[in-house]
Amino acid sequence: MSDELQNDRLAITPKRRGMIRHVGLSFAGIVATGVLASSTKASAAAFTDADLFNFALNFEYLGANYYLQAVTGKGLDAYASIAGTGTPGNVVGGSPVPFKTPALAYYAQQLANDELAHALFLRDVLGAAAITQPAVDLADSWTVLALAAGLISPGQTFNPFQDEVNFLLGAYAIEDVCVTGLTGAAALLTSPTNIAYAASLLGAEGYHGGAIRGFLSDIGAGVATNAISSLRATLSGVGDNGTSADGNPFNITNVDFNGQAYRRTPSQVLSILYGSSVSGTASGLFFPSGVNGIINIV
């Protein structure tokens, strides 16, 4: 598995050049809508550690596929088993990014390896209880998100695999959600061992998110990241700061006034992943058929 990924890494030989400065785009806002589900939302107090880890595994499936596609042109199923409980689904979209900046290409490769490792780790911890990979949309979802954030106009499309800047914006759109989701889930875990596992994963995701913010700050993408952050805040009801906040054009952290990472409940995380804050929404955006596991509706 790892040898194959390493071989895919060696196939990427980006040429050195400066990264193109991103042109700022305005935020147009969003009116959240969604499909109401017939199922009943489970109480957070009723979630087991396995429920929470399976919820996180859905997100690792999304992240692993995003970065693996960007680096190798292959999905997670090329490197690991994705079998398990729940409804299996296919991944739509994704292709190798034509990286030109060596540092960014190597960074993307590390993220692909890390997210693959995270998915494998959670599957090992969960054992027979691990969920299967649900349907993941890496194609149309990005245009919907970009249009809602005001990054593009009606009739235009957004492809995060088109170039380096788009790749970074796509990574930014999902990485901070993982950090805030793990931070919120950690408070619901009961086993000290599982809390330690979550803390370790959270630390790695924090490193990822900070580096992505650094790259985007360097290319002047503050207006675009602020728009994405505003969209996430609108959908989840939780604060979110872009890379240009409070007069700082190099904001590499997404934290509150206490310097702590924002925390989102599973429902608030799903509101972003589904693209809807409507209570009862059970699918949408990145997960067109919903996520697997007991934690599955807004």
Q: What mean pLDDT comes out for the span 146-164?
A: 97
Domain carrying residue 233: 2-10+49-273
pLDDT at residue 241 tops 80: no
Distance CA 128, CA 10 (A): 34
Q: How confident is the model at residue 29 (pLDDT cuts 50, 70, 90)?
A: very low
Residue 252 lies in a domain: yes
Residue 186 lies in a domain: yes
Q: Each residue of 64-92: b (16+ CB within 10 Å) or e?
A: bbbbbbbbbebbbbebbebebebebbebe
Residue 289 lies in a domain: no
**85 φ, ψ (degrees, to nearest 5):** -80, 160
- 240 CB-near residues (< 8 Å, 6+ apart): 176, 229, 230, 232, 233, 254, 262
- HSE-CB of 208 using CA atoms within 13 angstroms: 29
Residue 163 lies in a domain: yes
Distance CA 225, CA 213 (A): 9
**Predicted pLDDT of residue 44:** 58
Distance CA 110, CA 38 (A): 40
Which has the higher per-residue pLDDT, 254 or 128? 128
Residue 250 lies in a domain: yes
Residue 280 lies in a domain: no
**Predicted pLDDT of residue 262:** 73
**Predicted pLDDT of residue 30:** 34
Mean pLDDT of the chain: 85
pLDDT at residue 6 tops 60: no
Distance CA 97, CA 71 (A): 7
**Predicted pLDDT of residue 248:** 76
Total structural domains in the chain?
1
Give the rounded distance of the alpha carbon of 11 from its chain centre: 25
Q: What is the pLDDT of residues 55-97, one digit of tens each?
A: 999 999 999 999 999 999 999 999 999 999 999 999 999 999 9
Residue 260 lies in a domain: yes
Residue 142 lies in a domain: yes
Q: How confident is the model at residue 229 (pLDDT cuts 50, 70, 90)?
A: very high
Q: What mean pLDDT comes out for the span 244-256?
A: 72
**Predicted pLDDT of residue 43:** 53
**Predicted pLDDT of residue 246:** 73
Amino acid at 279: S
- Percentage, residues of the chain above pLDDT 90: 74
Is 281 exposed, middle or buried (CB count within 10 Å of its CB: 0-12, 13-18, 19+)?
buried
**71 φ, ψ (degrees, to nearest 5):** -95, -40
